[in-house]
Structure 1
Amino acid sequence: MSQNLYIKDFKSLKVWQKATELTSEIYKITKKFPKFETHIIVSQLLRACTSIGANIAEGNTQLYKSREYYHYNLALGSAGETRNFLAIALMNEYITKEEYNVLESRLIEIIKMLYGCIKKLEPEQSNE
């Protein structure tokens, strides 16, 4: 086996960096949610938002482009799920409209970046 093995570093991806920054913000915001929501919306929201970065990392580390494509698509789904739970948090007044707008804007940026990652892989993916 070659000693010059190239290891991709997901931490260098801007989309992963933005996803983990978003997750950090959501962790901070959920601390002020009502206690009874800990095992309901807080748990779901944290799972969804942490899944965005986790799937980006897992996809970027895959050997085959089709697996990378698959995980980026899962990250997109988690971003949609996160948007859903943030909308519910806003409706229940657990976050302010301003907080919601900032988080929503960051999510939209991440979603657009993920679409770009997926589009970049599409021509290559069909060759596997």
Structure 2
Amino acid sequence: MKLKNNPLQNKSYDFALTIIKLSKSLMKEKKEFILSKQLLRSGTSIGANIVEANGAISTADFSAKMSISYKESLETKYWLSLLKDSGYLLEKEFSSLYEKADEISKILFSILKTTRINKNKK
């Protein structure tokens, strides 16, 4: 579900695909089911909420969905850290994924901040 004019949606979609592959690998190769399912849920939810925000019917609806997406990105970083610190993820793999999640988090935070500033100006 890539869009030409929506780089955030595209980043979150690509990130979700990476998370799906990682979760499958963790379950199949390392027999880790609990953390990988949590990561799968939060990592794919980021993009799903961005898509919902893009279809919002009001500014409040948009802000609420973007806020959920932001929180899911923070949760995803938490699960990635747990997977690394418990030995399920190598440092190199962790760093790459964490940087992508962090980039998405920063973009979402910026959008939320701008949305709230614009709301207060009205």
Normalised to the residue count of structure 1, the TM-score between the two structures is 0.82
**Could you list the runs of 4 or more consecutive aligned residues of structure 1 that deviate by over 4 angstroms after TM superposition?**
none
Question: The residue matched to 1:63 in structure 2 has which SS?
Answer: coil
Residue 11 (structure 2) aligned to one of 6, 13, 18:
18
Does the aligned pair in 2 maintain the 1:69–1:125 contact within 8 Å?
no
Does the aligned pair in 1 maintain the 2:2–2:13 contact within 8 Å?
no
Unaligned runs of 5+ in 2: none
Residue type at the aligned position of 1:16: Q
Residue 65 (structure 2) aligned to one of 68, 71, 74:
71
Question: Which residue does the alignment assign to 2:50?
Answer: 56
Does the aligned pair in 1 maintain the 2:66–2:112 contact within 8 Å?
yes
Shift of 1:31: 2.5
User: Highest relative contact order (Cα 8 Å, sep 6+), 1 or 2?
Assistant: 1
Residue 112 (structure 2) pairs with residue 118 (structure 1): yes
Normalised to the residue count of structure 2, the TM-score between the two structures is 0.86
> Over aligned residues, Cα RMSD in angstroms?
2.0
Question: Which residue does the alignment assign to 2:103?
Answer: 109
Aligned residue pair count: 118
Question: Which residue does the alignment assign to 1:90?
Answer: 84
Distance 1:43 1:100 in 2: 16
Question: The residue matched to 2:25 in structure 1 has which SS?
Answer: coil
Bigger radius of gyration, 1 or 2?
A: 1
Residue type at the aligned position of 2:82: I
Percent identity at matched positions?
Answer: 26
Unaligned runs of 5+ in 1: 1-8
Residue type at the aligned position of 1:45: L
Shift of 1:95: 1.3
Distance 1:50 1:95 in 2: 18
